[in-house]
């Protein structure tokens, strides 16, 4: 089939590569417009656009996929299908109707669980033991279309959302190509999603990523892992923000109030609503990540000091 791919972040690139190596013809890439990022606020191409540039594939970056100029281009390009991975914009009905086989989306959850922008983060945050990826037919509703196929993936006890998303992006690329093959062969069958088991996964905000030290230790651990690497779990110390990287659970022989710090030669412990957790790395504002023990020495953490 002639394919136009729609996707934006790094997790879209494994699917792009898999499609390029498949039996299908990749004739274009649609992605979000270039954006300013980093300290220097440089204008950067999306990872999907950069991949397409390197491979000589035409790139389109409409501000909105409803723009008439983009719709005209899509009609002229005449793709048989548009595979989608984390495109990042709502696709209007006018665009959905152009390809003969529609738009086919790779979503990183077992639908109808975790419909929305942050399925992997919510799976980690809520302590799911198993998650997965689904390929479904894109329609007007939020991740509501019938499902062509899915795969499962175990959530490991120390997984960050970044770890889990990397695995799902790689495995999901194979699933997406398999569905495209089946569509071409006429053997694909999309099954409507059940009405039971629906859960929503809205974008995780910076405020959501603030560590709640008055939660139990297991909930602190989940929140930090769910928000790593983005948007980044954080807390405050002496009124300054500090990023918290994954912590360790254990049976630590110390009684600490929520947020209270205890510094030992080889570890830094923090109190929660249950048992303490051990800090791994932290990142003060404007600095690189460092071992918690190095940070504590430099900050001269004293008895009774605590995270807010």
Q: Is 204 left (phi over 0), alpha (psi -120 to 50) or beta?
A: beta
Confidence of residue 25 (pLDDT cuts 50, 70, 90): very high
**Closest among 176, 170, 187 to 105, alpha carbons compared:** 176
Residues of the chain above pLDDT 90, percent: 93
Whether the pLDDT of residue 39 is over 70: the answer is no
The number of angstroms, rounded, from the C-alpha of 304 to the middle of its chain's C-alpha atoms is: 37
Q: How confident is the model at residue 48 (pLDDT cuts 50, 70, 90)?
A: very high
The more confidently predicted of residues 265 and 218 is 218
Kindly state the average pLDDT of the residues 206-220: 98
pLDDT at 42: 76
Segment 101-105 shows an average pLDDT of: 98
Q: Tens digits of per-residue pLDDT, 281-306? A: 999 999 999 999 999 999 999 988 99
Q: What is the pLDDT of residue 111?
A: 98
- pLDDT at position 299 is 94
Q: How many CB atoms lie within 10 A of CB 145?
A: 24
Q: What is the pLDDT of residue 198?
A: 97
How far, in Å, CA of 49 to CA of 58, rounded? 9
Average pLDDT over residues 250-267: 93
Q: What is the mean pLDDT of the chain?
A: 96
Place of tokens 């669980």: 113
CB 271 within 8 A of CB 256: yes
Query: For position 44, what pLDDT does the model report?
Result: 87
Residue 121: what pLDDT? Answer: 98
Residue 261 pLDDT > 70: yes
Give 40's pLDDT tier (boundaries 50, 70, 90): low
Quick one: which of 60, 56, 63, 51 has its CA closest to 13? Answer: 51
Average pLDDT over residues 214-236: 98
Rg (the chain; Cα; Å): 22
Q: Provide the pLDDT for residue 265.
A: 86
**Per-residue pLDDT for 76 more than 80?**
yes
b/e map 82-108, b = 16+ CB within 10 Å: bbbbbbebebeeebbebbebbbbbbbb
**Cα distance between residue 219 and residue 297, in whole Å:** 27
Question: E strands within 155-306?
Answer: 234-237, 240-244, 261-263, 268-270, 277-278, 281-284, 290-291
Q: Which tokens sit at 38?
A: 């980093």
> Does the pLDDT at position 43 exceed 90?
no
Q: pLDDT for 173-182, tens place per residue?
A: 999 999 999 9
Per-residue model confidence (pLDDT) at position 37: 67
List CB contacts of 67: < 8 A, sequence separation 6 or more. Answer: none
* Strand boundaries in the chain, DSSP class E: 2-7, 25-30, 35-37, 42-44, 59-60, 82-85, 103-107, 130-137, 147-154, 234-237, 240-244, 261-263, 268-270, 277-278, 281-284, 290-291
pLDDT of 131 strictly over 90: yes
In this structure, how many other beta carbons lie within 10 angstroms of the beta carbon of residue 57?
A: 18
**Predicted local distance difference test score (pLDDT) of residue 263:** 95
Q: What CA–CA distance (Å, rounded) separates 194 from 165?
A: 24
């Amino acid at each position: 089939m002639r394919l136009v791919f729609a996707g934006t972040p790094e997790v879209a690139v494994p699917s792009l590569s898999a499609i390029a190596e498949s039996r299908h013809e990749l004739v274009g890439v649609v992605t979000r417009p270039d954006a300013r990022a980093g300290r220097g606020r440089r204008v950067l191409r999306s990872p999907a656009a950069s991949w397409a540039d390197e491979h000589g594939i035409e790139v389109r970056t409409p501000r909105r996929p409803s723009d008439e100029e983009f719709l005209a281009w899509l009609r002229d390009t005449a793709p048989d299908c548009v595979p989608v991975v984390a495109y990042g914009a709502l696709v209007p009905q006018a665009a959905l109707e152009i390809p003969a086989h529609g738009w086919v989306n790779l979503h990183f959850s077992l639908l109808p669980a975790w419909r929305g922008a942050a399925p992997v983060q919510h799976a980690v945050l809520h302590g799911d033991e198993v998650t997965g990826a689904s390929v479904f037919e894109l329609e007007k509703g939020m991740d509501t279309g019938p499902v062509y196929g899915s795969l499962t993936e175990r959530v490991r006890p120390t997984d960050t959302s970044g770890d889990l998303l990397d695995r799902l992006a790689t495995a999901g690329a194979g699933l997406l190509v398999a569905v495209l093959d089946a569509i071409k062969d006429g053997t694909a069958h999309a099954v409507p999603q059940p009405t039971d088991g629906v859960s929503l996964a809205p974008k995780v905000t910076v405020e959501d990523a603030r560590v709640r030290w008055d939660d139990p230790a297991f909930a602190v651990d989940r929140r930090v892992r769910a928000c790593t690497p983005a948007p980044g779990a954080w807390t405050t110390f002496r009124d300054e923000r500090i990023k918290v990287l994954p912590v360790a659970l254990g049976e630590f022989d110390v009684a600490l109030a929520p947020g209270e710090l205890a510094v030992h030669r080889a570890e830094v412990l923090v109190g929660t609503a249950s048992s303490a957790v051990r800090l791994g790395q932290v990142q003060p504002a404007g600095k690189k990540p460092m071992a918690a023990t190095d940070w504590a020495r430099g900050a001269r953490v004293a008895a009774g000091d605590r995270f807010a």
